[in-house]
Chains A and B, each alone.
Chain A
Amino acid sequence: MSQLAIKRISATPDPVSSFRTSPEYAKLVDISRCIGCKGCEVACKEWNDLKAEPTCNFGSYQSHEDLTPDTWLLMRFDEIDVDGRLQWLIKKDACLHCEEPGCLYACPSPGAIVQYENGIVDFNQENCIGCQYCVAGCPFDVPRFDAGTRKVYKCNMCIDRVEAGLEPACVKTCPTQAISWGSKEDMVAFGEEKVERLKGRGFEHATLYDPAGVGGTHMMYVVPHGDRLEDYRLPADPVASPGPLQGLSVLKKLGAYLFGLGAVAAALHYLGVGPEVPDEEDEP
């Protein structure tokens, strides 16, 4: 495990205290500057040693129909009409690294998902049991289960690079600087500046996608047509919190007591009443 300051660990009580502190990072994807070159897609594979998959063209510029355990970043291409004018929406699809990570909350395996103070939500496959609750827990449908290894995989924000003070590989490789990297605070400010610029260019619904329902994300989007989030395959109101699972954890505590009680009751019964042995001599 990394030397970074940890914020949350799956199936482990919060908060994890740490004497280390680290800045909160964020990646900002400016969709209005993205040309869909897939440089980030390839850089992601190269840096993370993900295998090249035998793809086949399915009637699109898009390389894969969906994210896979070996494709953590996918450029999606969609043709839509906005106000009667054709737009080719090109969107980088990958883990958003939520502040409230639905995947982590859902994960039953201790240490399989770790959230660091810097905002990165990382999967540790050696601790993953393959239950895929994270897949369902993710409001963005990002983690992917590999039926071969029976583990779940997703973008780790190139945590090894970040730990070494470098930006993620996708940021590094982006030829048009559509992806920026910096502190969350700076990126929010930069994103808002970009949104203002887009509004100036006539994109009146431009918005910074940093959804509050998941406590904000560490990959944010500058979305030109903010009123058409669904066309970018971005949920308008994603939600993740430990809340829905709180009932379960209360129940689990209760269950633990009940099991204990059951065992103790049996023991007490044994000591107090004892066994009832059939009287073999009673045989007629």
Chain B
Amino acid sequence: MASLAATFGRGAMTNHWKDVKNADVILIMGANPAENHPCGFKWALEARDRRGATLVTVDPRFTRTSAVADRHFQIRPGSDVAVLGGLVRHTLENGLHHADYVRLHTNASFVVGPGYDFQDGLFSGFDEAQARYDKSAWDYERDGDGYVVRDPTLEHPRCVFQLLKAHYARYTPERVAQIAGCTADEFRELAAIVCSTGTPERVGTIMYAVGWTMHTVGTQIIRTAAILQLLLGNIGRPGGGINALRGHANVQGATDHAIVASNLPGYLSVPKPEQPTLAKHLEESTPAPLAADAMNYWGNYPKFMVSQLKAWFGAHATPENDYGYGYLAKPAGDATWLTIFDEARHGRIEGMVELGFNSLLAGPDVPRLLGAMAKMKWKVVIDPFMLDSAEFWKAPGMKPEEIDTEVLYLPATHWIERAGSFTNSGRWAQWKEEVIDPPHGVRADTWIVSELFWRVKELHENEGGVFSEPIRALAWDYADPREPTLEELAKEINGYDLTTGKLLSSFAELRDDGTTTSGNWLYCGSFTEAGNQMARRDTADPGGLGLHPGWSWAWPLNRRVLYNRASADAAGKPWDPRRPGIAWNGREWTGDVPDYGKTAPPDRYGAFIMTEEGVARLFSSKLVDGPFPEHYEPAESCTVNVLHEKTPVNPAVRWYDGVRETLAGAGDDFPHVCTIYRVVEREHFVTSNVPYLVEAMPDFFVEVPDGLAKEKDIANGGRVRVWSKRGEVTGTAIVTRRIRPLTVNGKTVWTVGIPVHWGFVGITQGAMANQLTPFIGDANTRCPEYKAFQVNIARA
């Protein structure tokens, strides 16, 4: 999501599930929605069948999605930036971009300072010792008012448009083919389909998921797609967008509520050690506009932050104590997934609470994880089912007598056993009801966490402790303070006007003077005096575009398509009147809830109200690994980087101790590319406990291309062993023609596929796919590189 925020200002699916039906071209890449999002995927089929849309999949495998697509293109895992960069080049070289859109709604005309440069795979500002970029090297050129210099003709040699063109000029079809392993003609065929939507009459959408994020260049893959969609004028328009498909029912909700380590709820920033006061934090976290017409909505950051502190600390949050800002932790390092387990491996983490999380199976490099877990003194696992993670000490190969970790397992309710809200990929927060009663004695996680809080608080009160104030000051004002209800929590997240005591109905009402509260400003308006907006069930669809404004509630402020101001031209007229997002009628905007001032004239602000530029960023200095995406090979790769041999891998990734040694080197024999994924019959690991689903997909398997199987004498249905430098797995071979051999940089490359759903706990047991995966992650998010690594294979 980091990449979408870096491009558009918000990190979420731009459109929503049902909107996919409005598309003319649907590119599915880095995702397999038929497999992982079967319910939402029907809208892609609706577009295909009712609009005659073209459905294209680009994937290392011919998937269940490919089975119903018009065309499938096979590429090598980890070559996505090359392919998408090639599409960017194809668009620009052939003038297929939506020129008016690009000029109006992107920073194409912004002039970049002379400090920017790109040589040998490195952008300017790289500090080799720290493996970090100094992003000031990528600054825009400013005028006297501090605003960016713009060239509406797009001809300035340092304007973003020209830099973009120059950057991707290298990504010719032949070069793309050389990297991705397809043929140049196949790539041209793909380009002809995908780049056909750069006109007002046509719209294309892109659907992606963790097939893009789980790479060392994951964020930049998505950025490349975002750039492509901006060039084609597809952002903000019904049927367009770049749509992040979230894996579980509530991943978007979890992300909104700070599952990412560097965020507080609502994408506010975690305070840093060098920000000792609230004033300093607000100053550094509140962006200044870079264009005169930028609404720069993040300029309201202080209101969001202060209201959040008021929600947390209540009466204890006063102007005098910085609203309790001093109570917040200000971590020096990052607390991403990989770092946590790296710390644990070094014995620097005493214990861990895992709530709804099977970390052993979910993380990369299981042997390393097992070592890290065994170093902890204690571990608490809160989950509806007994998990592999709770029983890590009896994983295959472990010696329980040598492990001192004390594991506590607390059975908790499953989401089907309780009410609450799910926020889907399209940002719709939908209230759900309890379907079945929990088993006797099983408590909701709200009770468990609340009870944990009270017992810790009581210990502090009775026995004292270090830094007790935040715990004592925490507001816990619920009808039953030992177990808050979900409605109470939802109201707290929405926020109150403390002057009137009433629920707020919009984040526009938030103040930075301590008179409002809001646990998460994005959800302000979700639970108002008019009731629980998330529980609304009006199916009406005025306009027929699938907006359903009366069904549940979408953040922000029930907008269904983000950046919908960009669906209209300079005068506020929709690019395509048959598929209007919003339209200016001379007095106000009609259609969807405008992502813009309701009565602000079309020329008042830039269309992207969340960016300092007021427009979307083709060039963005928000990411740590470059203003333009560049193709880097996976940390473990079957080829040199043909674009720049000196810089094969993303230079900004973090290398944890001892990880380089676990990656295949020049002397190792791991010739085949491997990728891991999920299957529709299973939902991660929880369904290992559901008999019908285990029956539907019983055993761990390995998908082996038939040519490779012949070479290695592997029989369909027979046993096969796959090993990487980190571990090995054995399972049933599915010999298939759905994976073809590729020709990468002149060499034949085979791809092997492995599903993730098995462990040593559950109705059927099977190998853990993450025995094989490398302990390295994306430069921005640290999301591990599960999707591309090297293995060897043999008949078992």
- A/B touching: CB–CB < 8 A: yes
Is there a chain A Cβ closer than 8 Å to B716's Cβ?
yes
- Return the contact of B699 from the options A56, A86, A175 (Cβ within 8 A): A56
A88 CA / B680 CA spacing, docked (Å): 16
B699 x A35 contact (CB < 8 A): no
Interface-centre pick from B42, B49, B64, B696 (highest chain A CB count, 10 A): B696
Interface size on A, as a range, is 35 or more
| Given A52-B694, A53-B695, residue A34 in contact with residue B737 (CB < 8 A) | no
Task: Name the residue of chain A whose CB is nearest to the CB of B695.
Answer: A52
CB distance from A74 to the nearest CB of B (A): 10
User: Does more than half of chain B's interface fall in helix, strand or loop, or is it mixed?
Assistant: mixed
Can you list, as one digit per residue, whether each of A168-190 has a CB less than 8 Å from chain B (1) or not (0)? 00000001110000000000000
Task: Name the residue of chain B whose CB is nearest to the CB of A90.
Answer: B67
A274 CA / B656 CA spacing, docked (Å): 111
A272 CA / B440 CA spacing, docked (Å): 84
B692 x A175 contact (CB < 8 A): no
B64 x A36 contact (CB < 8 A): yes
A79 x B701 contact (CB < 8 A): no
Is there a chain A Cβ closer than 8 Å to B628's Cβ?
no
Segment 674-711 of B: residues with Cβ below 8 Å from A: 679-681, 691-701
Of A39-47, A134-142, A211-219, which stretch is located at the interface? Answer: A39-47
Task: Name the residue of chain B whose CB is nearest to the CB of A71.
Answer: B695
Please, which residues of chain B bring their CB within 8 A of the CB of A41?
A: 696
Please, which residues of chain A bring their CB within 8 A of the CB of B737?
A: 79, 86
A46 CA / B696 CA spacing, docked (Å): 13
B693 x A35 contact (CB < 8 A): no
A35 x B692 contact (CB < 8 A): no
Is there a chain B Cβ closer than 8 Å to A246's Cβ?
no
Please, which residues of chain A bring their CB within 8 A of the CB of B716?
A: 59-60
- Return the contact of A37 from the options B38, B52, B66, B734 (Cβ within 8 A): B38
Is there a chain B Cβ closer than 8 Å to A269's Cβ?
no
CB distance from B719 to the nearest CB of A (A): 11
Is there a chain B Cβ closer than 8 Å to A17's Cβ?
no
Interface-centre pick from B65, B70, B695, B700 (highest chain A CB count, 10 A): B695
Please, which residues of chain A bring their CB within 8 A of the CB of B34?
A: 35-37, 176
A175 x B41 contact (CB < 8 A): yes
B67 x A36 contact (CB < 8 A): yes
A42 x B693 contact (CB < 8 A): yes
A36 CA / B68 CA spacing, docked (Å): 10
| Given A33-B68, A63-B698, residue A201 in contact with residue B52 (CB < 8 A) | yes
A175 CA / B33 CA spacing, docked (Å): 12
Task: Name the residue of chain A whose CB is nearest to the CB of B693.
Answer: A42
- Return the contact of A88 from the options B48, B62, B693 (Cβ within 8 A): B62
A201 x B70 contact (CB < 8 A): yes
Segment 144-192 of A: residues with Cβ below 8 Å from B: 175-177
B49 x A38 contact (CB < 8 A): no
| Given A35-B67, A35-B68, residue A176 in contact with residue B697 (CB < 8 A) | no
A278 CA / B66 CA spacing, docked (Å): 91
Is there a chain B Cβ closer than 8 Å to A55's Cβ?
yes
Please, which residues of chain A bring their CB within 8 A of the CB of B696?
A: 38, 41-42, 55, 63
Is there a chain A Cβ closer than 8 Å to B735's Cβ?
yes
Is there a chain A Cβ closer than 8 Å to B732's Cβ?
yes
Q: Interface size (B, Cβ < 8 Å)?
A: 42
Is there a chain B Cβ closer than 8 Å to A270's Cβ?
no
Is there a chain B Cβ closer than 8 Å to A19's Cβ?
no
A150 CA / B328 CA spacing, docked (Å): 70
Is there a chain A Cβ closer than 8 Å to B586's Cβ?
no
CB distance from A171 to the nearest CB of B (A): 14
Please, which residues of chain B bring their CB within 8 A of the CB of A35?
A: 34-35, 38, 41, 64-65, 67-68, 680
Segment 183-215 of A: residues with Cβ below 8 Å from B: 194, 197, 200-201
B694 x A57 contact (CB < 8 A): no
Please, which residues of chain A bring their CB within 8 A of the CB of B35?
A: 35, 37
Please, which residues of chain B bring their CB within 8 A of the CB of A79?
A: 736-738
Segment 747-761 of B: residues with Cβ below 8 Å from A: none
Is there a chain B Cβ closer than 8 Å to A124's Cβ?
no
CB distance from A28 to the nearest CB of B (A): 13
Is there a chain B Cβ closer than 8 Å to A87's Cβ?
yes
B692 x A46 contact (CB < 8 A): yes
B52 x A56 contact (CB < 8 A): no
B698 x A39 contact (CB < 8 A): no
Task: Name the residue of chain A whose CB is nearest to the CB of B715.
Answer: A59
Is there a chain B Cβ closer than 8 Å to A61's Cβ?
yes
Is there a chain A Cβ closer than 8 Å to B733's Cβ?
yes
A sample of 13 inter-chain contacts (CB < 8 A) reads A32-B68, A33-B68, A35-B65, A37-B34, A38-B697, A42-B693, A45-B695, A52-B692, A79-B737, A176-B42, A177-B45, A200-B52, A201-B70
Q: A54-B698, A88-B62 are in contact. List 11 more A-B contacts (CB 8 A).
A: A35-B65, A35-B68, A36-B680, A37-B34, A52-B695, A54-B695, A58-B732, A59-B718, A61-B64, A61-B679, A175-B42
The 10 A-B pairs of least Cβ separation, nearest first, read: A59-B717, A35-B34, A59-B716, A52-B691, A57-B699, A88-B67, A175-B38, A176-B42, A175-B39, A57-B732
